[in-house]
Structure 1
């Protein structure tokens, strides 16, 4: 496979379909400590394999697809999938870029002909497949054109048999941001992490911002009926709500701000040493020094809260030993 793959993923195993196509259109990689993979069949548009996890569930069948762009050439893909379906025993998942549509809703910006839909629909219906739950985006490809010339299509998907979905009940396909490419990468997650609600944490350096005080004052002016303790509790809840909203608007990154203000101050110092009599530079130096001092104070407050070390109260100079202690 070459040094690129071994350097990127040391210890991984790889296979490809170079023997079926000059450009080697599909590469499959796996970590041998987690999966045993047996390649059963391949052609220029798919690699079919049996996958056995080293722990947990039993083995299943998986087919990685990259269909040709033109409809006539994809005939070999449908023929191969039909052969796999007739001989496949056990759970089966098929995923990749089919370069084919299954409904008129799978494309906007250009007409969809019935002949384009029929092969994909037959694949899904005849082979007992269904779409795996997908998140993030419906359309997975676009032509990157401007204005009305832009075309969006859903040509990438994850399909599976009922037995596979019953084995992996929480499985989902996440289509990631496309970046500079024309397609959205797909990530099939067997065991998606359940997002837990993060507890609210107040950062001490927020006290250095005027917006924090204004948010607290706004919440505390809320009129609440009831006993004294009830009113206090309700106002504290409102304060937390206002601070959450303020946090979403965004506090600055204190570490980046400290580095930026320090660089600005050093740059002005060089100018000042070159022109010591320039009053405008002196004024800029005073403003930059104040900004850097505030940035240092915010950074120290954040680090002190994070570390919870008593000697930080004395104000360390952020030495190497200081960061090692954190």
Structure 2
């Protein structure tokens, strides 16, 4: 059981939608909060299907900026209370643990208007006494240790954010994964990394989900990392034997033809009434072994490169 939050910057792009579907398929969240969607209305059905969600609440983008979406599973009870271009506020029925307060938050991207975001957060605190979770892109850091590269952040700017968190009685849930959640490269080649995305919660909410862990995931389609908040300790899934798949990249290697030819000849020499079956099985085994020896685990390599 998990909750996904992501500033994915434009869901009108099929590549972004497919990347979102991949994360959802792996993390299996019951709630998904998306920011900077810039969503085309006719894509909403596709996104719901990709995320395997029946219910959603949409805050349309203004022109080519902004836009928020909250999606949740059919069996989950969610009551959306208020919304704006910078937040979606809802009550969630957590079953045995009862109702709790969820805010999907997007801090104002312009520094001069950041105080409006903090005022909104303080107001939301006063709307209910339910256990409270706030998750999203705050567009601010709590200290200089959460920034690398670029100019030094004004201390007052960070202090205002920390003061707001304290005023609301919220605690940072920490994280597992890469230290930074946002990456920007200037035209001069300088890289700036910051931890702009996070999850904050009251002690009451933390007592409902004492084993909750926030994971910083990796993705190549956005400058922000997806956040996956695991509400309970996840049990390890039993590994199923993967079906054999012929990889098109093998055809680019001249040695592939020889592997297939040798395997086919070996299959024909086996004593059996099912010669074609033997040849195909021999090809499958030999190609799999050759792939492991020559290319290694391609999927794992891609994930490591994305994280790097």
Q: Same fold (TM over 0.5)?
A: yes
Tell me if the contact between 1:130 and 1:160 (Cα under 8 Å) persists in the aligned partners.
yes
The 3 A distance-change label for structure 1 pair 3 and 318 is farther
Tell me if the contact between 1:37 and 1:51 (Cα under 8 Å) persists in the aligned partners.
yes
In structure 2, the residue corresponding to 1:143 is in which secondary structure?
strand
1:129 corresponds to 2:97: no
In structure 1, the residue corresponding to 2:215 is in which secondary structure?
strand
1:291 corresponds to 2:281: no
How does the TM-score come out when normalised to structure 2? 0.64
Q: Which residue in the other structure is 1:86 paired with? A: 126
The 3 A distance-change label for structure 1 pair 176 and 294 is farther
Tell me if the contact between 1:25 and 1:66 (Cα under 8 Å) persists in the aligned partners.
no
* Unmatched tracts of structure 2, length 5 or more: 1-39, 282-308
Q: Distance in 2 between matches of 1:288 and 1:157?
A: 47
Aligned CA-pair RMSD: 3.7
**Structure in which a larger fraction of residues adopt strand:** 2
Q: Distance in 2 between matches of 1:296 and 1:104?
A: 62
Q: Which residue in the other structure is 1:256 paired with? A: 246
Once the two structures are superposed, the pairs formed by residues 1-326 of structure 1 within 5 Å of their partners are 2-10=41-49, 12-18=54-60, 23-33=65-75, 35-53=76-94, 55-110=95-150, 111-145=152-186, 149-195=190-236, 255-256=245-246, 290-295=258-263, 317-318=276-277
Q: Distance in 1 between matches of 2:272 and 2:90?
A: 60
In structure 1, the residue corresponding to 2:133 is in which secondary structure?
strand
Q: Distance in 2 between matches of 1:84 and 1:92?
A: 10
**Structure in which a larger fraction of residues adopt helix:** 1
The 3 A distance-change label for structure 1 pair 40 and 318 is same
Tell me if the contact between 1:177 and 1:185 (Cα under 8 Å) persists in the aligned partners.
yes
Q: Distance in 2 between matches of 1:57 and 1:190?
A: 12
Q: Deviations over 1:215-264 (max 9, x none)?
A: xxxxxxxxxxxxxxxxxxxxxxxxxxxxxxxxxxxxxx97537x777x68
In structure 2, the residue corresponding to 1:9 is in which secondary structure?
helix
Q: Distance in 1 between matches of 2:275 and 2:260?
A: 16
Give the stretch that moved more between structures: 124-133 or 22-31: 22-31
Matched positions, count = 232
* Unmatched tracts of structure 1, length 5 or more: 202-252, 266-283, 300-311
Q: Distance in 1 between matches of 2:261 and 2:91?
A: 61
The 3 A distance-change label for structure 1 pair 147 and 85 is same
The 3 A distance-change label for structure 1 pair 145 and 58 is same
In structure 1, the residue corresponding to 2:78 is in which secondary structure?
strand
How does the TM-score come out when normalised to structure 1? 0.61
Tell me if the contact between 1:98 and 1:155 (Cα under 8 Å) persists in the aligned partners.
yes
**Higher Cα Rg, which structure:** 1
In structure 2, the residue corresponding to 1:82 is in which secondary structure?
helix
In structure 1, the residue corresponding to 2:120 is in which secondary structure?
helix
Q: Distance in 1 between matches of 2:259 and 2:187?
A: 43
The 3 A distance-change label for structure 1 pair 69 and 290 is closer
Displacement of 1:191 in angstroms is 2.2
